[in-house]
Amino acid sequence: MNLRLSAACLAVVLGFSSCAVVPETGRRQLMLVTPDDEAKMGLASFTAIKEQEKISSDPAANARVRRIGERIAKSVGRELPNAQWEFVVFDSEQVNAFALPGGKVGVYTGLLKLAASDDEVAIVMGHEIAHVTSRHGAERTSQTGLVSAIATVGEMGMEAKNVDPQKRAMVLAGYGLLSSGAAILPFSRLHETEADSVGLRFAAGAGYDPRAGAAFWRKMSKAAGDAGKPFVLFSTHPSDEQRIANLEKLAPQYQALYETSRAQY
């Protein structure tokens, strides 16, 4: 088995696997991780983060994040496997937030300072929660595991056929390139775009204005500047321009949902 054949096998499996489906988009995805294992990993990671990071003692910030998070969790509209929702504010200047399997969500005070409204905070939290509901982390783990499995089979085949060590090293280097991101990066960008769409829907369903998405990302882009931004082809995220344009395109689709949901709060 050579690199070309192995890569072809990988493409076939990733292209036609129907192990799981993202409910909100209908996209089929490779899934080799069980929901129980995923939730356990999320809980373990969140426990470690809470031990390492400083948790904010600001009651207003914690109440704000909890209020927004609970509304978004309700907006998801379906039960997540083993979800025990928990919303924690971390005292850090990072302009960031994250969500982990099992319903664990963290928001940094830097994000709360940059966001001008609850709508903007909700857009970010909705995006992060959408990564979890769409099982993007488990999908990436499955993809990496598949590459590793194909590499192992390929190495065994080359060893059985006494392939020249130099050629064997070149093939294994190719597998390393695949597992390090050459085959996975497009999926990462797809995950980000999918989380933008699904997350915007979650936020709108929780009564938060979907138009805040593009506004917040313009602010994020301005704050970050151009320094250090990778070329989009090699980035795990869409460019700021692509993301803003997509959010502007999506917002009108969720405006009616927002108006209806807002009346409930």
Catalytic residue numbers read 128
Sheet holding 104-108, edge to edge: 86-90, 104-108, 97-100
Token pair for 227: 């320094």
Residue type present at position 263: A
- Which residues on adjacent β-strands are paired with residue 90? 55, 108
Q: Which residues contact 239 (CB under 8 A, 6 or more apart)?
A: 229, 232
Give the CA-trace dihedral at 77, 71, 85, 49, to 10 degrees. 130
Please, what is the angle between helix 185-205 and helix 212-224, to 10°? 130
Token pair for 165: 């060590």
